[in-house]
Amino acid sequence: MARVTNLATMTPAGRTRSWRIFAWILIAPTVIGMLLFTVVPIIGSLLLAFFRWDIMSAPEFVGLQNFAEAVSSPTVRVSFLNTIAFVVVAATLQLGIALMLAVLVQEKMPNWLRVFFRSVFFFPLILSAASVSIFMSYLFNEQFGVVNWLLSLVNIPAVPWLTTSSGSAAVIILVYVWQNFGFSFLLFLGGLSSIPKDMYEAAELDGAGGWGKLVHVTMPLLSPTTLVASVMAVINALQVFDQPYVLTRGGPGDSTRTAVMVIFESAFQKLEFGLASAIGLILMILIMFVTYIQFRLSRRFVFYQ
């Protein structure tokens, strides 16, 4: 960095100016785009949240009424509770499965096999959540689905997956985790490969077994990765929409309605744009709060080398 500054001061004044202009030209598309499609909209959302507007008639200032409605509406409240419950279960499963598989894949095995596992676990990430939800809806069909057929082989009676509250919540979590664990898996794999081998050798000398090495070497040294992986898993899970939209449309009842679904329905099915903005802002605050908490916790628990 210092070198570039040097270079700039070294060059004649006219040239410095042309470099500066050049810099502005280079960042212009991104900066203008960001202003137009993120900064302006976020301000717009902030304003819209205080109005009632259905596009057909003029916006009407309603103060905090949209927020009051969002907080008091049972559907909105349930959808946020659903979202939080979903995040807790899905992120835990996703991280747990990913960590376990990453540790197992990282251990000694032929390289081609490792590449195979890595590719397979990564594969669902390239599919669209909408398509995945389509085929999963057939697999989880109560009468004719493969999942219940497999269960029937071990004498478990047919589970009404998509037609009961608990069943559909379970399906959405399973489908979501199935598709996303590969992401955390990749992060853990990267984290594991950066742990120096001599740490394990030292632990072995101290008489640590496989479990001991996991608890005393892997986990502490992996904690920065775990932090990032969990922040990302939580933020992504908070925004879940595609799976419940395609699989259950939020039902039965409100049992699988998520925060983003309520934003979508308020805005584009009921044309309550102000209410949708208010709910969106609440979601954003939630996301920021969760991120903040996770980083705060990390100070206590994360072990930086």
In whole angstroms, how close is the CB of 110 to another protein at the nearest point?
10
- 10 Å Cβ neighbour count for 216? 15
| Contact flags string 233-272 toward another protein, x per CB under 8 A | --x--xx-xx--xx-xxxxxxx-----x--xxx-xxxxx-
Size of the site for another protein (CB under 8 A): 117
Close Cβ partners of 181 (under 8 Å, ≥ 6 residues apart): 93, 94, 97, 98, 101, 121
Contact set for another protein, span 84-113 (CB under 8 A): 101, 104-105, 107-109, 113
Measured CA to CA in angstroms, residue 203 lies from 37, 102, 198, 211, 221 at distances of 52, 20, 8, 11, 13
Contact set for another protein, span 128-167 (CB under 8 A): 128-132, 134-139, 141-144, 146, 149, 160, 162-165
Residue of 13, 14, 30, 198 interacting with another protein (CB under 8 A): 30
| Contact flags string 57-76 toward another protein, x per CB under 8 A | --------------------
- What string of DSSP letters covers 138-167? HHT-TTT-HHHHHHHHTTPPPP-TTTSHHH
Contact set for another protein, span 271-300 (CB under 8 A): 271, 273, 276-277, 280-281, 283-284, 287-288, 291
Contact set for another protein, span 201-230 (CB under 8 A): 225, 228-229
Close Cβ partners of 264 (under 8 Å, ≥ 6 residues apart): 241, 245, 276
